[in-house]
Amino acid sequence: MAKLISIRHPRQLGMSMLVAVLMLAATFPAQAAVEHAPPTADHSKFRSLEGPFETASDVTEACVKCHTEAAGQIKATTHWTWLYKHAETGQALGKNQVINSFCGMAITNEPRCTSCHAGYGWNDMRQPPPEADSAVDCLVCHDTTGDYWKFPTLAGDPTYIPREWPKGSGKIVQPPDLPNIAQNVGASGRANCGSCHFYGGGGDGIKHGDLDSSLVTPDRSLDVHMSPEGGNFTCSDCHTTWGHSVSGSRYQVNAKDTLGIDVPGHTDLSRASCESCHGGAPHHKKKLNDHIDKLACQTCHVPAFARGGVPTKMWWDWSTAGKLDAEGKPVTEYDEHGHLSYLSEKGDFRYGENVVPYYAWFNGTVEYTMIDEVLDVENPPLEINRIEGGPDDPDSRIWPFKLMRGKQPFDTERKTLLATHVFGADDSSLWSNYDWPKALQAASDMSGMPFSGNFDFIETRMYWPITHMVPPADQALHCGSCHAGESRLAGIGGIYIPGHSSNPWLDRIGWLVVALTLAGVIIHGLLRVVFRKRKQS
């Protein structure tokens, strides 16, 4: 069908369009949801899963009795180690190492941050994660009941007693029914991955912009792939796994997948790129395919992010944190959209919905400003991560990003970023006493990163590639979004964009010559009229 309605010659256009319309009307089916094979085991029939279980670790012990290699596989993945050795830059990355522009580093904020570790009991990140197989968390990825929830402050465990959350809200979280959950394990769904990846940065949608709870059951217009009315994809339909190792990395993005459609035995078996399924020439119109050497699919097909009704944080200024009201109580403020705009614990925020991405050349390699790196503090904003690539790099394409901006603390003497100890039931954390020097010193003590005692705040930027929230094709960008004077790609160097780019001198000279010609013929014509009248009179 694609061949039949491809328009190779404009003289065929009318006929092609007619044929296309007829064929679409006659044969084009609604997009079929992806089907998953039925499981080979009914876990409710296993006696070892009847419980009772005192802790979630006890469930893991039952799991690994049959799935003998699973725990070992998990412990070899980044979901467990939080370490990532970058093949291109050589940097040692991962949640264990990097600092970001949200809550800084995980290493000074466990057990809050380690509540998203794929295991239990990682209370001290100066040590590697616990070694026992029973420390692996099977349920966070394989629970199908939706009742399993890693409590935010327990280093990965769910709560085993009724607890209030959020603190001061009066809402009580009940302990999960572990036997029921264990008997209903299955393949990972969107909600499993989302239980951590939708809530990065401390809340729903805060961090990524294209990942939030609206993707658990998205409308077709929000995400054509993941919507139950669309493809009903789970995350792992694209982020394919191999022995529990999940494909697709934000540190080393496959920015230009030239392998095309993935065929067993020929390619990498990772479907974490659009081309893995759609190939290298996905459009019926040839001119659209002509764009894919310079543009990532996402650039046109993710016209905006944070589209599901969940706002994402775009600006976070830590420097204003700590203001208290007249009674010494922390302050909460909201903007005109009802989004949080100030918290004494966290400073000033700006949230965004339906955000137009920031665009830049990108070859997939991301380099980080590490915690011990000496900064150019004279020239803010500082880039927390740097995206590599450019117009002359054949591996680069123009990609959409969430550009996270804000202010965060740095050491004015050592000229390095500072880890922050924001969370902790001790009196040194920022959220317990609003005392920056104390919180920064505590972070230094915990992380071993030196701190001179002098600090200030520096404006920072961080780039988050946008790739999810793909609407149906008819909601992709129109030509004029970029091919116009006010182009989305304004400021992108090294590419000639018809309708946007031009040579101002050619235009000046061109229009001048046109104007002179017009003036010439008008004057000539007027003179003819004048002389004819004179002759007649």
Cβ neighbourhood burial of 370 (10 Å; 0-12, 13-18, 19+)? middle
Site for other proteins contains 518 (CB under 8 A): yes
Contacting other proteins (CB under 8 A), which of 48, 258, 332, 517?
Answer: 517
485 CB-near residues (< 8 Å, 6+ apart) = 499, 500
Residue number with CB closer to other proteins (187 or 522) = 522
Closest CA to 36 of 253, 204, 237: 237
Give the 3-state secondary structure percentages of the chain, helix then strand then coil, rounded to 5.
30, 15, 55
Cβ-based neighbour number of residue 432 at 10 Å? 17
Taking the C-alpha atoms of residue 149 and residue 331, their distance in angstroms, rounded to an integer, is: 29
Comparing CB distances to other proteins, the nearer of 29 and 504 is 504
Nearest to other proteins of 44, 517 (CB atom): 517
Q: Which is nearer to other proteins, 241 or 289 (CB)?
A: 289
Q: How far is the CB of 295 from other proteins (least distance, A)?
A: 12
The answer to whether the CB of 99 falls within 8 A of the CB of 371 is yes
> In Å, what is the CA distance from 427 to each residue of 11, 95, 102, 434, 499?
77, 25, 22, 10, 59
When binding is defined by CB under 8 A, the residue of 4, 66, 87, 527 that contacts other proteins is 527
CB-wise, 76 or 516, nearer to other proteins?
516
Rg (Cα) of the chain, in Å, rounded? 28
Q: How far is the CB of 13 from other proteins (least distance, A)?
A: 6
Does the footprint of other proteins cover residue 521 (CB under 8 A)?
yes
The answer to whether residue 161 forms part of the interface with other proteins (CB under 8 A) is: no
Tell me the residue type at 413: E
Q: In whole angstroms, how close is the CB of 396 to other proteins at the nearest point?
A: 16
Tokens 């011990």 belong to 372
Minimum distance between the CB of residue 8 and other proteins, rounded to whole angstroms?
A: 11
**Residue 394: how many CA atoms within 13 Å on its side-chain side?**
1
CB of 471 to other proteins, least distance (A): 18
CA dist 82 to 8, 98, 110, Å? 50, 10, 13
CA distance 259 to 266: 9
Report 263-292 residues binding other proteins (CB under 8 A). Answer: 287, 289-290
Q: Which of residues 120-159 bind other proteins (CB under 8 A)?
A: none
Does 513 contact other proteins by CB under 8 A? yes
Instruction: Report the first-to-last Cα separation within the chain, whole angstroms.
Output: 75
Q: How far is CA 501 from the centre of its chain?
A: 30
Q: Considering the complex, what minimum distance in angstroms separates the CB of residue 390 from other proteins?
A: 15
Over the window 287 to 306, marking each residue x when it contacts other proteins by CB under 8 A and - when it does not, the resulting string is x-xx--x-------------
Among the residue ranges 21-29, 126-134, 263-271, 496-504, the one whose residues contact other proteins (CB under 8 A): 496-504
- CB 361 → other proteins: shortest distance, Å? 16
**SS (HEC) of 422-447:** CCCCCCCCHHHHCCHHHHHHHHHHHH
Secondary structure of residue 213 in the 3-state scheme: helix
Could you tell me the smallest distance in angstroms from the CB atom of residue 529 to other proteins? Answer: 10
d(CA 480, CA 497): 11
Residue environment code for 212-240, b if the CB has 16+ CB neighbours within 10 A, otherwise e: bbbbbebbbbbbbbbbeebbbbbbbbbbb
Q: Which is nearer to other proteins, 324 or 495 (CB)?
A: 495
Binding mask 5-34 for other proteins (x = CB under 8 A): ----xxx-x---------------------
Q: Own/partner pairs for 270-276, CB < 8 Å, 24+ apart?
A: 270/240, 271/237, 271/238, 271/239, 271/240, 271/247, 272/238, 272/239, 272/240, 272/247, 272/248, 274/298, 274/301, 276/238
Q: Is 526 in the site for other proteins (CB under 8 A)?
A: no
**CA 286 → CA 5, 118, 416, 495, 497, distances in Å?**
11, 45, 50, 20, 17
Q: Is 535 in the site for other proteins (CB under 8 A)?
A: yes
Maximum Cα interatomic distance, the chain, rounded to a whole number of Å: 119
Residue of the chain from 485, 491, 493, 504 that contacts other proteins (CB under 8 A): 485
Listed ranges 91-99, 144-152, 214-222, 507-515: which one lies at the site for other proteins (CB under 8 A) = 507-515
Among 21, 324, 479, 490, binds other proteins (CB under 8 A): 479
Number of residues that bind other proteins (CB under 8 A): 37
* Minimum separation from the CB atom of position 19 to other proteins (A): 17
CB of 395 to other proteins, least distance (A): 16
Judged by CB under 8 A, does residue 510 bind other proteins?
Answer: yes
Asked whether the beta carbons of 303 and 477 are under 8 A apart, the reply is yes
Q: Whose Cβ is closer to other proteins: residue 166's or residue 499's?
A: 499
Q: Which stretch binds other proteins (CB under 8 A): 78-86, 168-176, 187-195, 493-501?
A: 493-501
Q: Which stretch binds other proteins (CB under 8 A): 159-167, 313-321, 424-432, 479-487?
A: 479-487
Give the binding site for other proteins (CB under 8 A): 9-11, 13, 287, 289-290, 293, 478-480, 483-485, 496, 498-503, 506-507, 510-511, 513-514, 517-518, 520-521, 524-525, 527-528, 531, 535
